[in-house]
Amino acid sequence: MSRIGKKPIAIPTDVKVSQNVNVITFEKGKLKQELDTRGNVGISLENNTLTFSANSTSQQDRAFWGTYRALASNIITGLVSGYSRQLEINGVGYRAAVQGKTLNLQLGYSHDINYALPEGVEAVVEKNLITLKSHDKQMLGQVAAEVRGFRPPEPYKGKGVKYVEETIVRKAGKTSKK
């Protein structure tokens, strides 16, 4: 049984939640997110509380039960407080700048990398830290992974783009024989 799926989700007063068959719509001001449960999970919306239940005892329905509950909880948290992810740039001459909705990266290549930020994601650059903010946790993680993918950290000097909380396992360089 899903322990996560059993927990009800308390809906804040400033978030509007509506249910239409298998689609749950979350709204806060101009922000709107939808969650399609595809009929695998039962949904109950009562007294500002959202509850999920498995439609059958099949393994797939039980797996979707906890997954959709976690996705709904992430959507509500994102609409209320938002998510942020920090990336750190290490390397001589490596720089980042934000120009409108474009993240301009100089990562040691012969050309600059201009990454167009998707709708709903904001970037702020301070020295060698890039802070990405969004109300959509999945989109934020995807953008952070793509930016990191332009120059992943290498194990010898640690140069590249890495998450702030990430630790790079360093390798020893060449040693001379005596």
% of residues, the chain, pLDDT over 90: 63
Supply the range of the domain harboring residue 34: 3-80
**36, part of any domain:** yes
pLDDT at 130: 97
**177, part of any domain:** no
pLDDT band at residue 35, thresholds of 50, 70 and 90? Answer: confident
Domain end: 80, 101, 136, which one?
Answer: 80
**173, part of any domain:** no
Question: Does residue 1 surpass a pLDDT of 70?
Answer: no
Q: How far apart are CA 64 and CA 41, in angstroms?
A: 7
Q: Tally the C-alpha atoms within 13 A of residue 66's C-alpha that lie toward its C-beta.
A: 8
The stretch 47-51 carries a mean pLDDT of: 91
Domain end: 28, 49, 80, which one?
Answer: 80
**169, part of any domain:** no
Domain end: 49, 80, 111, which one?
Answer: 80
pLDDT at 64: 86
> Which tops the pLDDT comparison, 45 or 39?
45
**126, part of any domain:** yes
pLDDT at 2: 61
**106, part of any domain:** yes
Q: Domain check: are 76 and 87 in the same one? A: no
Q: Domain check: are 73 and 133 in the same one? A: no
Q: How far apart are CA 101 and CA 115, in angstroms?
A: 9
Q: What pLDDT digit, counting tens, does each position of 80-129 carry?
A: 999 999 999 999 999 999 999 999 999 999 999 999 999 999 999 999 99
164: exposed, middle or buried (Cβ count in 10 Å: 0-12, 13-18, 19+): exposed
CATH number of the domain that residue 28 is part of: 3.90.930.12
Average pLDDT over the chain, rounded to an integer: 91
| Cβ partners under 8 Å of residue 71, min gap 6 | 35
Q: Domain check: are 56 and 72 in the same one? A: yes
**171, part of any domain:** no
pLDDT at 40: 80
Q: How far apart are CA 46 and CA 38, in angstroms?
A: 21
The stretch 135-160 carries a mean pLDDT of: 95
Q: Identify whether the C-beta of residue 161 lies closer than 8 Å to the C-beta of residue 147.
A: yes
Exposed e or buried b per residue across 115-137, where buried means at least 16 C-beta atoms within 10 angstroms of its C-beta: bebeeebebebeeeebebebbbb
**22, part of any domain:** yes
Q: What pLDDT digit, counting tens, does each position of 59-77 carry?
A: 888 888 888 899 999 999 9
Domains in the chain, number: 2
How far does CA 140 lie from the centroid of its chain? 4
% of residues, the chain, pLDDT over 70: 98
